[in-house]
Each structure stands twice: as C-alpha cells, then as structure tokens.
Amino acid sequence: MNEPPAVKVVVDARGLVCPMPLIKLRQAFMVLEVGDSVRLLATDPQAVADVNEFCLAGGHDLVEQREEAGLYSFVVTKDGT
C-alpha cells in the first residue's frame, strides 16, 4: 500500500461552514510548491463535494479522504498543470 505524501501544511477548518473550508484550502495552496501536500480537517459535510470538485477542476490529487465521527480529513497534493 502506498503511503500518502508527507503533509507540509495542516489546515484546520473545523467548525467552519461552506465555503470557508475550501477557501482555507485554496489559501494554503497559494503558498505551496507543486508536489506539496495539505491536510484539510473539516466538520462541514459539504467539504466532501467541495474538495472533490476543487481537485477535479484544478487537476490536484486527492490522495486521502476519511470521515470519522463527523470529522472529515483530506490530503491533497498540489499539481502544476
């Protein structure tokens, strides 16, 4: 099993509602290099759809997505295309 890439930044968006978790993720991506990974923590279920669409639209890699007891965790790797 492949290990997720090392996470460079953790974005804690717990307690924030749409669209704030996605905005926080985008802000983190603005200062990262291609190939860097971000872990996003969110409690808003809408984050699942938002992060998936963000990755699809931007060509970024969603390398991990988990939910446990209402806490959503995503690891996204920045792509340069």
Task: Name the residues annotated as catalytic.
Answer: 18
Tokens 């808003």 sit at which residue?
A: 44
DSSP reduced 3-state for 68: strand
Strand boundaries in 14-60, DSSP class E = 37-42
> ω into residue 19 within 30 of 0, thus cis?
yes
